[in-house]
Structures are given as structure tokens and as C-alpha cells.
Amino acid sequence: GQQLNQSPQSMFIQEGEDVSMNCTSSSIFNTWLWYKQDPGEGPVLLIALYKAGELTSNGRLTAQFGITRKDSFLNISASIPSDVGIYFCAGLGGSARQLTFGSGTQLTVLP
């Protein structure tokens, strides 16, 4: 089946720094989604991308849908303590509505 490679697996950054994480796939996706999950909670949708090359922002978050449709990145600017959590990319391909999830990036923001 389709697989997503998400990196880095974990990040430790200082408050105020910018963060970047990405996902790559061997298959083409039609939609890329980025989620954040806090401990003991379900994932929360951050950004949805629908077109190759699309660049979308949501506050301090910016995500792009790669032009090849096989990758996406998420940037967080000026990180704050509440950014701590696990970030997942997810891709949707073909006519199915099933998401393929990346392995997650654990973000820790140090004061």
C-alpha cells in the first residue's frame, strides 16, 4: 500500500524558533492534510491542501503541496510552548476517502 515518510521523527527547539517538517511519498496524492495531536486527544486538522503547488497559511503555520504531488511540508514560525505535540501528515489519493498517515513528528518547544 501507499506509505508516507515523515521527517524528522522528533525535534527539540527553542521558543521563538521556526520549525519545518516534511512528508514524502512514492505515490501521488490528490490531497495533503496536516494534523496536530496532543496527548490523549484525537488529531486536529491544521491545514488542507488540494492542488499541486498550493501554499496555504493558517496563522503561524504554512504548508505547501509539492509540485510533483508526492510531498508536502509544514512550517511553524515563531514557535510557542503550546505548539508542543505530534504533527502528522496525511495523504489522500485516487477515489478512496481513506487517509494514509505519516509516522508523525514529535515537537518539543523549550522555554
Partner 1 sequence: GAVVSQHPSWVICKSGTSVKIECRSLDFQATTMFWYRQFPKQSLMLMATSNEGSKATYEQGVEKDKFLINHASLTLSTLTVTSAHPEDSSFYICSANPGTGPTYEQYFGPGTRLTVT
Residue 100 in contact with residue 93, Cβ under 8 Å?
A: yes
How many chain residues interact with partner 1 (CB under 8 A)? 21
Answer for which of 44, 55, 67, 110 binds partner 1 (CB under 8 A) is 44
Dist CA 62 CA 60 (whole Å): 7
Residue 91 in the binding site for partner 1 (CB under 8 A): no
- Contacts (CB under 8 A) with partner 1, residues 46-75: 48, 50
Q: Which is nearer to partner 1, 46 or 111 (CB)?
A: 46
Instruction: Give the amino acid at 10.
Output: S
Residue 104 in the binding site for partner 1 (CB under 8 A): yes
Dist CA 54 CA 1 (whole Å): 25
Q: What separation in angstroms does the CA of 53 have from each of 56, 65, 69, 106?
A: 10, 5, 8, 26
Binding site for partner 1 (CB under 8 A): 31, 33, 35, 40-45, 48, 50, 88, 90, 92, 97-99, 101-104
